[in-house]
Amino acid sequence: MIYDFIVIGAGAAGLTFIDKIIKSNNEIKIALVEAGNLKNDSLKDYKDISFIKNKINPVDEKRAFLFGGTTNLWGGFCRPLDFEDFISRSDINKNEWPFDINELNKYLDEAKKVLELKENFKIKNKPKESKTLTDFNLEEIDFDYSNKQIFFKKYKSLNNKIDIYLNNIAYKFVIDEQNKSVKSLDIIEAKTKSKKRIYSKNFILSLGGLETTRFLLNNNKFYKQNYFNNSKTLGKGFNDHPHFYVGNYVSFKDFHKTNKIKSVRYFKNTHKFQLENKILNSSIRLTSIKNPVDTNYDLIEEFKILFPNITKKILYTGRIMVVSEQRSILENMMELDNTKKDNFGIPKINFKYELTKFDLDNIRKTSINISKWLASSEHGRAKLLNWIMDENLMPNSNDYMWYGHHMSTTRMGLNANSSVVDHNLKIHSLNNAYIVSSSIFPSGGASNPTFTIVQLALRLAEHLKTIS
């Protein structure tokens, strides 16, 4: 049997692609290869075998090997990228998307349906506050919330329509070197370790933001021709979304009341602010704490001592969190360590990662901007952490965390010398292999990535629906 498509990885990316392409033509023959099973996350079995531990960002703990992929773990926060995320920033060497936001906007409503969302994602300035928000170059934004296991549940509807190989590790592409196309895929059954070869006309790599890159790095070794790493960028320029607790605030106004989710409001800096301050995108979360148990009474006392003349009533306290877009640096990277192999003979990944001063400055400038707005609009007063106010200090490791947004190590671009896939997500040097994953994001913006992954999967299915 020769399939029309072999899809590797049953996460949001792979399943969205399959769902759309079989709806366009139910004659299409598809095989889905998934390392996990239906019962429990196989991460326990794979975690320690594919990554060598990294101290700063424990990326390997932030994914799931299970039908439905990492959306079995996720928070479900959804928001598309902003228009500025697609625009190049030569001043800070940001990698450029090969198209603008309109290309993905074509799939906005379809992606909302896939993720069961209602929000329209328009930037909103509340009438009363719009002046002060504009003065500080701030915009109010919103997230919507999808569900855990939303993709896991798709198993039942796909089970009779396609061949599903659960507990199978995709291992090796067999390439027809004359035609520059992949002929077949070698897979390993995880429990028995028996090998099998399956054939297809086209291949979709949707193994997630880490394992897709690992698969390609490993496959690159099998061929003299540098099929997957001609550009020497494969595995390089990893991005995450650093997520920081930056301080607390006291509030004189009940300014969270109007929001859909009562206790949280989200903001971002305008594009103008980003350009003027030489920073990238970010999002700010003001979370009010209205219950007496968690109220920050120390902060209230401190405030009264610092500002004895301010007699306004403090209604509640809150926390400020900032999520930033990261600047891609080649040194943040994944490479194979051929001396350390997993149970299936695949080399582990040596993951190198650091937060740069640029990333921290983005967090600092963003935090200071929102605290100025709080004060000037008389919403309250913020107390930012010491490292925000003093750039000679470094954040405490308890102040930041990682979302598990694994981006940019198989970048998309028009130039085959500086990217891995083209604007249609096809691997530059092959005719029939495509990647759909956050690993293709040239840059990551500050929105959680899955909405964009789903848009890209829908776009790829639209592009390929007539190819088979």
Ligand X SMILES: Cc1cc2nc3c(=O)[nH]c(=O)nc-3n(C[C@H](O)[C@H](O)[C@H](O)COP(=O)(O)OP(=O)(O)OC[C@H]3O[C@@H](n4cnc5c(N)ncnc54)[C@H](O)[C@@H]3O)c2cc1C
Size of the site for ligand X (CB under 6 A): 40
Q: Which of 208, 247, 380, 445 binds ligand X (CB under 6 A)?
A: 208
Q: How far is the CB of 62 from ligand X (least distance, A)?
A: 4
CB within 8 A of 232, min separation 6: which ones? none
Q: Which of 184, 206, 281, 432 binds ligand X (CB under 6 A)?
A: 206
Q: Which of 404, 413, 444, 445 binds ligand X (CB under 6 A)?
A: 404
Task: Report the Cα 294 to chain-centroid distance in Å.
Answer: 31
33 contacts ligand X (rule: CB under 6 A): yes
9 contacts ligand X (rule: CB under 6 A): yes
Helix ranges (DSSP H) in 296-432 = 297-306, 357-376, 386-389
Q: How far is the CB of 276 from ligand X (least distance, A)?
A: 29
| Helix, strand or coil, per DSSP, at residue 373 | helix
Q: How far is the CB of 343 from ligand X (least distance, A)?
A: 12
Of 380 and 449, the one with the shorter C-beta distance to ligand X is 449
Of 96, 85, 196, 8, residue with least CA distance to 413: 96
Q: Which of 405, 426, 428, 459 binds ligand X (CB under 6 A)?
A: 405
Of 265 and 364, the one with the shorter C-beta distance to ligand X is 265
215 contacts ligand X (rule: CB under 6 A): yes
Where b means 16+ CB within 10 Å and e means fewer, 359-392 reads bbebbbbbbbbbbebbeebebbbbbbbebbeeee
Site for ligand X in 176-205 (CB under 6 A): none
Of 333 and 453, the one with the shorter C-beta distance to ligand X is 453
Q: How far is the CB of 211 from ligand X (least distance, A)?
A: 4
8 contacts ligand X (rule: CB under 6 A): yes
Of 82 and 211, the one with the shorter C-beta distance to ligand X is 211
Q: Are strands 51-52 and 347-352 parallel, antiparallel or unpaired?
A: parallel
Of 35 and 250, the one with the shorter C-beta distance to ligand X is 35
Q: Which of 438, 441, 459, 464 binds ligand X (CB under 6 A)?
A: 438
Contact 209, 10 (CB under 8 A): no
Of 35 and 430, the one with the shorter C-beta distance to ligand X is 35
What Å distances lie between residue 27 and 348, 360, 468, CA to CA? 39, 52, 10
The one-letter amino acid code at 62 reads K
Of 323, 261, 286, 270, residue with least CA distance to 447: 323
12 contacts ligand X (rule: CB under 6 A): yes
**Distance of alpha carbon 323 from alpha carbon 266, whole angstroms:** 11
Q: Which of 317, 328, 437, 455 binds ligand X (CB under 6 A)?
A: 437
Of 326, 322, 415, residue with least CA distance to 365: 322
Site for ligand X in 61-90 (CB under 6 A): 62-63, 65-66, 69-71, 73-78
Contact 125, 316 (CB under 8 A): no
Report the run of H or E that residue 275 belongs to, with start and end: helix 271-276
Site string for ligand X, 363-382 (x = CB under 6 A): --------------------
What does the H/E/C string look like for 146-196?
Answer: CCCCCCHHHHHHHCCCCEEECCEEEEEEEEECCCCEEEEEEEEECCCCCEE
Q: Which of 19, 211, 325, 359 binds ligand X (CB under 6 A)?
A: 211
Of 12 and 334, the one with the shorter C-beta distance to ligand X is 12
Q: How far is the CB of 449 from ligand X (least distance, A)?
A: 5
Report the run of H or E that residue 218 belongs to, with start and end: helix 208-220
Which residues contribute to the site for ligand X (CB under 6 A)?
8-14, 33-36, 62-63, 65-66, 69-71, 73-78, 169-170, 206-208, 211, 215, 403-405, 437-438, 448-450, 453
